[in-house]
Each structure stands twice: as structure tokens, then as C-alpha cells.
Amino acid sequence: MSSSTPKNNDPYKNKKQIAIIGSGAWASVIARIIARNVLILKRFHPIVKMFVYDEIINNKKLSDIINETHENVKYAPGYIFTKNLKAIPDLVECVKFADILVFVVPRQYVENTCKTIVGNVKPNAVAVSLTKGFEVRPGGSLWLISHIITKLLNIKCHVFMGANLAPEVAAEQKICRSTLGCTHKTWGKWLKEIFETDHLKINVVDDEDTVEACGALKNIVATAVGLMDGLAQKNHYKEATMRLGFIEMIKFVDIFYPGGKLSTFFESCGIEDLIVTSYGGRNSKCAKEMVVTGKKLAQIEEEMLKGQKLQGPDTASQVCTMLRAHKMTHKFPFFTKVHAVCNGDEPPDSLKEYVEKNMSKKTYVPVNLII
Amino acid sequence: MSSSTPKNNDPYKNKKQIAIIGSGAWASVIARIIARNVLILKRFHPIVKMFVYDEIINNKKLSDIINETHENVKYAPGYIFTKNLKAIPDLVECVKFADILVFVVPRQYVENTCKTIVGNVKPNAVAVSLTKGFEVRPGGSLWLISHIITKLLNIKCHVFMGANLAPEVAAEQKICRSTLGCTHKTWGKWLKEIFETDHLKINVVDDEDTVEACGALKNIVATAVGLMDGLAQKNHYKEATMRLGFIEMIKFVDIFYPGGKLSTFFESCGIEDLIVTSYGGRNSKCAKEMVVTGKKLAQIEEEMLKGQKLQGPDTASQVCTMLRAHKMTHKFPFFTKVHAVCNGDEPPDSLKEYVEKNMSKKTYVPVNLII
């Protein structure tokens, strides 16, 4: 197997190279799948590079450990990579020959990552973002992560979102589902090839922004479900909370991503991911723990997520910053309430009161979406 | 308090009289709510009649027991009616002065009930159906229960559907939700008054057929979720099953009830009822039991439902009879599969195979519904 640097005599020089940016739990699960898949896919270069932000573990660099043991001992212990997965501690080195950039970093690192690699990315490369969330830009506008990537790198960015839970995808004991948002038919086919396995079934839809918005917003709803669960184990109102949140997700896409499709909410990235995440994901688990223990979000993140930011509260915070800037918080009372509770501005009980008071609220009828 | 037969000197002669047709668990829960509500609602006659199909319990008629003890000792033990609820063992007697007929009988009894009372119903009366299901008519067409009532009695029939579980509505310890499908604005307001309580919040929507179809079809999906749960506790694929079922619900309404609204699926009678019923209702519980014990449906119905028919399998059977008659089973593989399993024609594993094979299926995009 040759090095992945293209040379004239390189038999793989026309093969598409893949770089995975990120080495956390989800990134490692996805890297493991992609590396295994390319071994039998002729279109792709057999070496898959994964950028590893180096940390020292037992006096050794994590990237060296991964390349020697083929295991991400810190974030995905127990799951062995095929040997064609190479951990690369240098970000530019990782991406410079890549035709496909798979972003799986927390959204807080996306901008700096792009700024680091800009100018070293192939002009025809495409990106796929698995990163969930939004980012408020100076001026108060809210950007989808894929839009940031496209803007900063000047390449097209597709998206890949649930319904699935990282540990379940990793375990490969049940079949999980994901939705690939991709407007380009050929790329949609190729990207599906690298992600799909017998245990991870992928559906390609062309409504990228809605797919991505669902992936981000559902974490706010799942957080709310966890808060409600913590407040009252028996009278949890989980389904009513899910419905109120789902309605606000639709309203949000209707207002901010006009032209999207209502039917995308019925894809696995929509209603199914919402249910999966609300019942089993870490947003709801951590949110429940916040209420049960009375601890603040930051402490829960420290204790349960090794200091990582919990996505739901972070997404709620970004969304609400934008809503405040545009005097639109009153249009999104659900998201606003979840943010207020996670931020410590209001007690969890106020969310319960809100849900109880609004649970028979009529659904929102979108005006800017098509079916 | 006067008798409910209108006389010239009757102070209640202009008050709207309510008759509840049915005295099972759900009928009793609803009767209890209505009887309590009318005591403080000026528009309605203070006597509420409930038709009780008499059975002998400890040498006494059930209707007599109810009228003496104000408790339906057989189907809703522990819940005391207000004294203005009168059990009436004669169906015609029960309905003949009623302005509002509340149908809460199993769908198998609706036709005979209508045939018994036709000619004895006030011409301006309205019906509200809480009965879930469809009925195949001679010729193979499938009728919503409300359409049967309207056709046979020549009165308007509105509908009242979940999300809720009868035991939870009865217990009044948490707030439950229901959707009232009613195209008539004034009646919508009045009917909401008789059903709503602090613990049962009601939303009125004008898309009656979709509301009713959701109420019926969600039981097929919940049955499937229960079957899947019984097959594999851990790898249950509940959310994927719900999504595939939900897609077929939308397709069904799109094809058979054109002009309905896609947004009705986001009301409490839609996605929320689907989740509530799939996770907690008796359709999923009994279906799971079928798989776990290997018993046939009829035996489960005998043991767990006192011989009542389980709604999900019955609805699937009615739907599939119609689909077969119109050579359309291939368009509804999910409903067809659930029916085949419940009917004993295929093993439960075949449903699991179907779900596994189709879980990444694209959503169905309706063409005849509006947003």
C-alpha cells in the first residue's frame, strides 16, 4: 500500500482520498467504518487519515498509540481500526490531499479548523459535516455549521445526521439509521458508499439545510425531555414535550430556511432521531442529572462528558442569542425556556409549567416549506 | 333536578342533553368527566345518560349497580360518578332526547347500535365518535366509524382522539391531551367544554378525517412496536418501526382522504398519540405478550382484555381486507405485514426482517394533502 501522497507512479493517484477531522467518540466510530469500507471500494484511496489533536497518555502521544495499537484508547476503547486508518497529528498534513473532508469536531472548533487549513484544501474537495449545532456570527446571524465550512473553505459541504446513538453504531449489534443531506446526486451515491454498513443504513435526501437543522435542534428538545424526566419521573410529559419541541423545530426551519421540505421531518433525521435522542441520548441523560442532583450544567459537563460541551444547551444558547438579537424570542418560547433553564436563569419547574400550559397548543402550520 | 324528558314546565327544556353510548373502561372515564362538567355548564342538561349493556354481576344488573353505587364496578372500579350520571339499559330510551350522542363502543357494535336507534334520534343531534377503527363495507370499501354513524343516522359526526391512555385520564394525576376533530366552529367550542378538564386538555382542529384516521391507524403501528419489542428486548428498533408506520399512516391518508392536512399529523392525535400508544398502550403490550408467550391473538384477547378485540390487529385486518379488494396491498407493506403476523399467517420474525430491510426507506411525500 503506497503512501497517500500522490506521485506519478502512484497506483492510487486517481483514487479519492478521505480525511476525517476529529478523533472523539463519534469521529472514531465513523473513521472505523470509513476505513473498513474503503478497503473494498475501488473509488477511494485505501489510506484514510484521521486528524488527532494530540494529547499525552501514559507518556505517549495519542496519535502514536492509535497508529501502533489501531485503537483510540481514550475516546473509543475496545474498537480496533483496520490498519489503513492513519492518525495524523498535523491538521494541514491530514487534509492537504483529501478529496473528502469529514468534519466530526465539536462546533466550537470548526471555525479555527477551517482557518488553519484554508489554502491547503484541494479546490474540488467536498466536505461532509457530522458536527451538530449552529454558530452565531458577528452581527447576530446564526449559521449552520456546513455554511461556515463552505464559506471559509469555499467548498461544498454536505451533512450527515442521525437517528442513531454513537455507542449503538459502534457496537454494531443493531441496525442504526442516518440521513445524508446531499444535493449532488453523484456525491450522494459516493458518500453513502463510505458511510453505509450492514449496521448503519443511510438514506440520501436533497434537503440539506433541513437535515442539518433537525440534527442540531433535536438536541434542544432532547434536553427538554431530560429536564422533564428529572423533574417528575412518573408524570414526565415526555411525548407532549417532544411534540412542542418538534413544532418549534418545524417553525424554525420554516422561518429561517424557507424552501425546505416538510417531508424531511419524517426522514430518520427528523422525528425518528428526535425520539431516539430524547429517550436515549446524552443530552437527555445529562439534563435529567442536572435536575436530579441540582448541579449546574458546567459541573455535569465536567463529570459526565470529560468537560465537553453538551450539545443541546449549547445549541439553545446559540439559537437564543440570535433570537434576542432579532427580537424574536417570543416566537420560540420552547427553545427560549430550555435555554433559560440550562443557563440557570429559571428553575426547571418553569419548563414544566410551560409544557403543562401549552401541551394542547395547536401545531404550527408552515408557510415557507414545501411538502 | 327534573327528569330528562322535556316537558313544557321543564326548566331544562332548552338545555342540550348528552347520551353516552358505551360503558366500557374508556366510556366510563369519559362519562365521568362529562357528567361532572355539565354540573357547571349552563348550556347542557344536568342529567347525563349512559347506555349500559346489562350484565348480571352478583345477581344484580350492572345498570342498577351503577345507579345505586355510582360506580362502574366492572369496567372502571374505584372511580365514582357524580349522581347526575344515569345508567340506562335501554338504548333507544338513552338516546331519544339527546342532542349530543357520544359513541364509545367497540367498532363492531357501531352499526347495530345505529340500526337500533335510527328513527329515535333528534334530527338536529350531533354525534361525537371516540371509537377507533374502520369498517369494511360490502363491496370492499373502508369506512371511518364517523362516516358510518353519519350515513346510518343522517347526523353530523365529529371525532375525539388521543394522545392519552384511558388509565391515565382516569387517574387524573397527570395532564393528558386529546384532539377534537370538528369542522363546525360553534359545536367545536361546545364539545370542548364537555370534554375538557384540568387534566385533559383538548385541541380542536377542523381536519376530521385525518384526526380519525390517525386514531385508528396508530394502533396498527403500536401493535408492530409491541411485536418488535417482544422479539428482541434490546434491539427493538422501536423508533424505526414507528417511523415506517408513521410514513404509511401519512400515505394512507394521502391516498384515501385527499384534501387532509399534513400538519394534522403534528397535532396530539398524530405523532404524539403514536409515541404514547407505542410505548404505553395495550396494543403494544398485548402484541409483545403474543410474541413472548407464543400465544395466538385470540387467547391474548381472552386473557388480557376480557375477550374484547385488540384494536390494532382488528384495524389492520379491516384495512388489509380493503387493500386486497383493491389490489393495493403492495402499496402498504407495513400494514400488510402487521396483519399477516397478527393473523398467524407469518411469524413475528418476518416483521423484524421487514423493518431491518426498510428502515432507511425514504419518507413518503404526500401529493394530495395540503400543509
CB atoms within 10 A of CB A265: 28
Residues 6+ apart with CB under 8 A from B216: B132, B133, B134, B144, B145, B311, B315
Query: Which residues of A fall within a CB distance of 8 Å from B275?
Result: 238-239, 242, 275
In chain B, how many H helices and how many E strands?
15, 12
Beta carbon pairs, A and B, within 8 Å:
118
C-beta atoms of A201 and B360 within 8 A: yes
Distance spanning both ends of chain B, measured CA to CA: 48
Cell of B337: 405485514
| Nearest residue of chain A to residue B200 (CA atoms) | A360
Bridge partners (DSSP) listed for residue A50: A20, A87
Contact between B245 and B274 under an 8 Å Cβ cutoff? The reply is: yes
Q: Are B158 and B208 in contact (CB under 8 A)?
A: yes
Half-sphere exposure of A125 (CA within 13 A, CB side): 26
Q: In percent, how much of chain B has pLDDT > 70?
A: 97
Q: Is B336 on the interface with A (CB under 8 A)?
A: no
Residue B131 reports pLDDT greater than 80:
yes
Mean pLDDT for the stretch of residues B5-32: 89
pLDDT of residue B234: 65
Q: Where are the alpha helices (DSSP H) in A51-155?
A: 62-69, 91-95, 110-117, 145-153
pLDDT of B3 strictly over 70:
no
Tell me which fold the domain A217-358 belongs to: N-(1-d-carboxylethyl)-l-norvaline Dehydrogenase; domain 2 (1.10.1040)
Per-residue pLDDT, A266: 95
pLDDT digits (tens, 9 = 90+) for B174-195: 899 999 999 999 999 999 999 9
Rounded to whole angstroms, the Cα distance separating A20 from A3 reads 17
**Residue pair A202/A178 in contact by the 8 Å Cβ criterion:** yes
pLDDT at B77: 96
What's the pLDDT score for residue A235?
65
Interface contact A39, partner B, CB < 8 A: no
* Grid-cell match 439545510, residue found: A209
pLDDT tens digits for range A107-143: 999 999 999 999 999 999 999 999 999 999 988 899 9
- Nearest to residue B345, comparing CAs of B300, B307, B296, B281? B296
* pLDDT of amino acid A306: 84
Cα separation, B76 vs B53, whole angstroms: 15
Contact A359/B177 with Cβ under 8 angstroms?
yes
Q: Which residues pair with B103 in a beta bridge?
A: B21, B129
Note the pLDDT of residue B6. Answer: 56
Instruction: Please give the CATH architecture assigned to the domain spanning A16-160.
Output: 3-Layer(aba) Sandwich (3.40)
Quick check: B266 and A243 CB within 8 A?
yes
User: Residues A15, A86, A96, A218: which is the catalytic one?
Assistant: A218
Asked if the Cβ–Cβ distance from A242 to B272 is below 8 Å, we say yes
**Would the CB atoms of B237 and A175 count as touching at under 8 Å?**
yes
Residues of chain A with pLDDT under 50: 1-3
Binding residues of B for NAD(+): 166, 282, 309, 311
- Return the minimum-mean-pLDDT range out of A128-142, A175-189, B1-15, B283-297: B1-15
* pLDDT score for A234: 65
As a whole number of angstroms, the distance between CA B198 and CA B173 comes to 10
Interface predicted TM-score (ipTM): 0.88
Distance (Å, whole) CA A284 – CA A231: 12
Q: Domain spanning B16-162: which superfamily?
A: NAD(P)-binding Rossmann-like Domain (3.40.50.720)
Q: Which helix or strand (DSSP H or E) is residue B69 part of?
A: helix B62-69
Q: In the prediction, which pLDDT does A4 show?
A: 54
| B233: pLDDT strictly greater than 80 | no
Strand A85-88 to strand A44-51: parallel, antiparallel, or no bridges (unpaired)? parallel
Query: Is A166 annotated in some ligand binding site?
Result: yes
Give the pLDDT score at B1: 47
Provide the 10 A C-beta neighbour count for residue B326: 11
CB-CB neighbours of A212 under 10 Å: 29
Domain coordinates of chain B in residue numbers?
16-162, 218-358
A264 in reach of chain B (CB within 8 A): yes
Instruction: Express the helix, strand and coil content of chain A in percent, nearest 5 each.
Output: 50, 15, 35
Q: Which residues contact A321 (CB under 8 A, 6 or more apart)?
A: A136, A140, A142
Name the β-bridge partners of B57: B60
* pLDDT recorded at residue A6: 56
pLDDT given for residue A254 in this prediction:
97
Average pLDDT over residues B314-331: 97
DSSP state of B263: G
Q: What residues of B form the annotated binding site for substrate?
A: 132, 282-283
Q: Note whether B303 contacts A: Cβ–Cβ < 8 A.
A: no
B198 touches A: beta carbon within 8 Å: no
Q: CA dihedral defined by B366, B367, B369, B371, rounded to 10 degrees?
A: 80
**Range B243-271 average pLDDT:** 96
pLDDT of residue B2: 47
DSSP B7-66: -TT-TTTTSEEEEEE--SHHHHHHHHHHHHHHTT-TTEEEEEEEE----EETTEEHHHHH
Compare CB distances from B275 to A239, A247, A359 and report the shortest one's residue: A239
Could A271 and B276 be called an inter-chain contact, meaning their C-beta atoms sit closer than 8 Å? no
CATH class held by domain B218-358? mainly alpha
The per-residue pLDDT for A361 is 87
Instruction: Specify the DSSP element, H or E, that contains A87.
Output: strand A85-88
pLDDT tens-digit readout, B344-361? 999 999 999 999 999 988
In the sheet that holds B156-163, the strands lie side by side as: B85-88, B44-51, B16-21, B100-103, B126-129, B156-163, B176-181, B200-205
User: H/E element holding B159?
Assistant: strand B156-163
A237, with CB counted inside 10 A (0-12, 13-18, 19+), is buried
On whether A108 is known to bind a ligand per the annotation, the reply is no
Asked about A218 being catalytic, the answer comes back as yes
**Which residues of chain A lie closer than 8 angstroms to B252, CB-CB?**
none
Note whether A250 contacts B: Cβ–Cβ < 8 A. Answer: yes
CA distance B72 to B80: 8
d(CA A299, CA A305): 10
